[in-house]
Amino acid sequence: MCGIVGYIGDKNAQSFLISGLKRLEYRGYDSAGIATLSEKGKATLIRAKGKIANLEEKVAKNKRSDTTGIGHTRWATHGEPSEKNAHPHKAGSIYLVHNGIIENYKAIKEHLKDHEFKSDTDTEVLAALINSFYSDGKHSLADAVVQALKLAKGTYGIAVISENNPDEIIVARSGSPLVIGVGNGETLIASDASALVGHTKNAIYLKDGEIARVTKDSIEVKTLNSEPVSAKVEEIETNLAAIQKGGYDHFLLKEIMEQPDSLAETLRGRIDAKNGTVTLGGPGLSESELRRISHLVIVGCGTAYYAGVLAGYYIEQFTPGITIEPVIASEYRYKQSYLPENSLALIVSQSGETADTLACLREIKKQGIKTIGIVNAIGSTIAREVDGGTYVHVGPEISVASTKAFTSQVIAMVMFGITMAQAKGVKNTILRPYINEIAKLPTEIKKVLDGSADQIKKITKKYTKYEHGIYLGRDVAYPTAMEGALKMKEISYLDANAYAFGELKHGPLALVDDRFFEVAILPKGHLYDKAISNVQEVLARGGHMVVFTNEDSFDLPVENVVKITTQLEIFAPILMNILSQLFAYNMAVAKGNNVDQPRNLAKSVTVE
């Protein structure tokens, strides 16, 4: 996620901004920048692509004794990583840094003909909008920001300065955190308190819909409707590591717990449950191109592959007549397989840099097949080489084990499938249940996290003695079992493997003994009863089974059952995968493993 810092006081702004941005590096970014104002209001804007060290090098050649400034580390959402897209963005006399996404930036941009746009970002549009109110001299900077924010739709955490008045910084937030550090003769701004540690212990956490005008010795907070707010000064956490993990013990747990928000970002501006529509701008395929698709190949590695398998099951349910082929990239790249004429390839990758996946992309493009990226890292190699794409927008996934990206990859692919089905004339009565459930998924995930995290932690203790695990499921629960087994093996180093329930009799049943525990993914549905008989087969052989289910009537004598109460039927397996994530996390912690950097693994496998 992007990072924001700001400083106004008597010390050197450039040095606070650079050190503050370094504190925020852990959040992941692809470019950075600062803007400072001299006492007379002369602005110095310095930006750089890549690491903060690149920015630091430029600042060293452009030292200023300015005492007011703002800074930003950018995790690209609109516009690829580059110096021109880096923040702060300038419009007239103002400079702006922004975290979040302005959904209606294109519509706003249409009305800002006087501004010569230099970047591809939504942020520059917001800067120009603020300036359109400020430049007429009839509004204070704070008022101009208020007028602009009333027109902007989406999420923001912003800091704004103007050459006309170096003695103030305006900050505002809606959906993206902002903290105001209360110093002694100085005021500090940050998107998270880690940048304030060592400078002050007292801070005001701005709330959604609030705006503040800060000077070096005053902080005035109001609502966007100009109602004064008596903001509470709180003591900040001084443990840097704790702040950077959002207060969680590990990035992995933070990323599991933030899935309601990260999935909401994936859906933002793309799904309209009220009207039953899904709109994806990125793939850039016409209705006729979508209608012509007869074969979908879905390429990925590891979790990205399992996301493709699961999404493929769902897309097949509502798009009759097309064939779907999820493939493991490292296998597919060497196969002499030729894709039929009306094929389309979905290229799935969180990092957008996985070597095998990238190699497949290039092979498939040689066959003249269109490629659509399902990627998280904006501007990554895969994102730049596909013909079109849908970013999943989950923010940096720092832990090696992929969790929030998996959930959003599956749903992004299902949303793509829905746009394809809509183009093929599939009735809305068939698609509506999927759309309705997708819209509810963030809330349902939150309920599972709130309701089952403690139970999973408790049952994990009983399974730490095992070295082998079997994950089982039928239909959509089978790829869910695959992903659950990968999470377990990846971070707990336990030999966990997934099998289709129906395969048990063809071999895996021979494994069942006291060395193994079993996890059964058991969603309600047309195959539930069949799966129940498979559970009984395992129990009859002394299985040590944990069941994840949304069927309240489940009552077989398994060792542990985690029941989730959810309105969802179709996407219940996504919720059960959350349980698998928590199970694997707790097992890894119990084993004392390095949860975020498991042995032998890397976050992005950029070599074969």
CB environment 311-330: b (16+ within 10 A), e (fewer): bbbbbebbbeebebbbbbbb
Query: CB 396 → ligand AGP: shortest distance, Å?
Result: 12
Q: Are residues 308 and 481 in contact, defined by beta-carbon separation less than 8 angstroms?
A: no
Nearest by Cα to 310 from 521, 567, 546: 521
603 is catalytic: yes
301 is catalytic: no
Choice from 155, 357, 452, 566 touching ligand AGP (CB under 6 A): 357
Q: How far, CA to CA in Å, does 126 sit from each of 186, 206, 336?
A: 27, 20, 50
Choice from 301, 418, 547, 572 touching ligand AGP (CB under 6 A): 301
> Interface mask (CB under 6 A) for ligand AGP, residues 473-492, using x and -?
-----------------x--
Choice from 73, 77, 176, 351 touching ligand AGP (CB under 6 A): 351
Dihedral sign (CA 382, 379, 396, 24): positive
Q: Which is nearer to ligand AGP, 144 or 383 (CB)?
A: 383
The interface region with ligand AGP, picked from 89-97, 207-215, 249-257, 350-358 by CB under 6 A, is 350-358
Q: Which is nearer to ligand AGP, 43 or 348 (CB)?
A: 348
The interface region with ligand AGP, picked from 126-134, 184-192, 253-261, 348-356 by CB under 6 A, is 348-356
Contacts of 427 (CB under 8 A, 6+ apart): none
Q: Is 253 in the site for ligand AGP (CB under 6 A)?
A: no
Q: Is 349 in the site for ligand AGP (CB under 6 A)?
A: yes
Q: Are residues 518 and 538 in contact, defined by beta-carbon separation less than 8 angstroms?
A: yes
What is the CB neighbour count within 10 angstroms for residue 491?
A: 28
Q: Is 262 in the site for ligand AGP (CB under 6 A)?
A: no
Strand, coil or helix: 333: coil
Catalytic residue among 11, 153, 447, 603: 603
Strand, coil or helix: 290: helix
Partners of 316 in beta bridges: none
- In this structure, what DSSP letter does residue 233 have? P
> Interface mask (CB under 6 A) for ligand AGP, residues 402-421, using x and -?
x-------------------
Q: Which of residues 373-402 bind ligand AGP (CB under 6 A)?
A: 400-402
Share in percent of the chain as helix, strand, coil (round to 5): 40, 25, 40
Q: Are residues 407 and 444 in contact, defined by beta-carbon separation less than 8 angstroms?
A: no
Query: CB 157 → ligand AGP: shortest distance, Å?
Result: 27
Choice from 19, 342, 436, 604 touching ligand AGP (CB under 6 A): 604
Q: Are residues 24 and 192 in contact, defined by beta-carbon separation less than 8 angstroms?
A: yes
Q: Which is nearer to ligand AGP, 166 or 308 (CB)?
A: 308
Q: In the structure encoding, which two tokens stand for residue 223, read together?
A: 């609502």
Choice from 77, 85, 303, 460 touching ligand AGP (CB under 6 A): 303
Q: Is 595 in the site for ligand AGP (CB under 6 A)?
A: no
Residues recognised as catalytic: 2, 603
Residues that bind ligand AGP (CB under 6 A): 301-304, 349-351, 354, 357, 400-402, 490, 604-605
